[in-house]
Structure 1
Amino acid sequence: MTEKFIRDALILWTTIDPIGTLAIFSAITARMTSSERKRTAIKAIFYASVILVCSVVVGQLLLSAMGIRLISLQLAGGLILFLFGLKMIFGDMNKDVKTGEESGHDIAVFPLAVPSIATPGAIMAVILLTDNHVYPIPVQAVTTLIMLGVMAITFLLMLAAGPIIRVIGNNGSAILVKVMGMILAALSIEFVMEALKVAQWMGGDPIT
């Protein structure tokens, strides 16, 4: 059982990706004050944690009841992430951050909580790692605690974004936005390609 928990920790660390989240957070909050950045980090971690805990509790039942396959969730998440990556590359993220509250868009929800922290991979991982047909409740509870531990580390890294931004400056943050946009776009393509490969394996239809 110890090996399972170690494996769970590695999988959750990889899918939640605290380091990648730090880079994205630093890029899109570069023009915020320290207090605004901290408040955004708290909200993003809270929302993402609620999403992942709900995925543990009812995710499997909800997807089954709605007839939605996990692979469909991954494909949708990949497409959404790709669109946001394009926006980071060709748009003005600093303007979006400044006007986010007026337009009703909270960046703590999108893109930080979803899909940067609670990624499609993370949602699928917590559902699979707490499969109701395989693992008893106590084991699922430990896996959930491991997930929350990874979220706590992610939050601490997000709090370190301030010193990073002070070092790289406004020009550096603008460059970071474009670079992270390219990385997000590439990551989204990986999500889509993996979903298509799984769909091919499940359906047997050739996908090129």
Structure 2
Amino acid sequence: MIDDLNLFASQLVTLWVVLEPLSHLSMFLATTSHLDRQERHKVAAMGTAFAFLILVVFTLLGRMLLEAMGISILAFQISGGIILFYFSMTMIFGAMTQHAVTADPERRLVHIAVYPIATPIVAGPGAILAMVLFSDNNRGAPLSQHLITVSVLVLMSVVLFVIFWLGDYIAKVLGEGGASLLRRIMGILLAAFSVNLVLNAFQKWLNLPPI
């Protein structure tokens, strides 16, 4: 029982750091600034649900899929960093918002919920890597440990959904200009984070000094 509680606590802290709610809220608001309140709530619900499904799949099958395809964790980290960098450029220069606006009205919200909310904002390289490592640590462990990992993911998904839902009130305070500024600031920070992911992967691969 104590071991299960320790596992739950350690994984919850790790996933909380990876899915840091306030920074994810900032990116959520930045990428949904052109939506009204009802649309933003729908995107919050769908986005967190899609992200949960993606992370569950990688929790259960991630290591198996990577090994079957001959993909190393470091290669996955580098590719994830490149995708995040591209996404950060769309946040800074506004290409993402223009693409979302041109989508069909009914399908537009689903598109935004899948990209960029579900991935790469919530189910990004960091979160996916964390879930793959959790499942790898649980390999050969009792079923209870796998259930603990999934329960941690459920809890964090609910927390993110509630924070995204309440974020509408913050959007009112920011206004359109503030949301646009926030989007570009978060894009710059996300670009730095994505570059750091790639550099850290090369640092581990080449046994270089820490960056």
The correspondence for 2:122, drawn from 99, 117, 121, is 117
Q: 1:206, CA displacement in angstroms?
A: 9.5
1:28-53 alpha-carbon deviations (Å, 9 max, x no partner): 11121111111111111111101111
CA contact (8 A) 1:89 1:178 kept: yes
Kindly state the Cα deviation for residue 207 of structure 1 after the two structures are TM-superposed. Answer: 11
**Alignment partner of 2:33: what SS?**
coil
**RMSD of aligned Cα (Å):** 2.2
Aligned length: 205
The equivalent residue for 1:12 is: 15
Q: 1:177 aligns with which of 164, 178, 183?
A: 183
Given that residues 28 and 97 in structure 1 are in contact (C-alpha distance below 8 angstroms), is that contact kept between their aligned partners in structure 2?
A: no
Q: Distance in 2 between matches of 1:118 and 1:135?
A: 25
Which consecutive residues of structure 1, in runs of 5 or more, have no partner in the other structure? none
Question: 2:83 corresponds to which residue?
Answer: 80
* TM-score for both structures, normalised by structure 1: 0.90
Runs of 4+ in 1 over 6 A off after TM superposition: 102-105, 205-208
Counterpart contact for 2:171–2:179, Cα < 8 Å: yes
Q: What fraction of aligned residue pairs are identical, expressed as a percent?
A: 33
Matches within 5 A, 1:5-154: 5-101=8-104, 106-131=111-136, 132-154=138-160
Please, what TM-score do these two structures have when normalized by structure 2? 0.89
Separation in structure 2 between the aligned mates of residue 149 and residue 99 of structure 1, nearest angstrom: 34
Matched AA of 1:58: L
CA displacement at 1:186 relative to structure 2: 0.8
User: 1:133: Cα distance to partner?
Assistant: 3.0
Farther-moved stretch of structure 1 (133-142 vs 78-87): 133-142
Q: What runs of 5+ residues in structure 2 fail to find an aligned partner? A: none
Q: Specify the code of the residue in structure 2 equivalent to 1:154.
A: L
Q: Retained in 1: the 8 A contact 2:203–2:209?
A: no
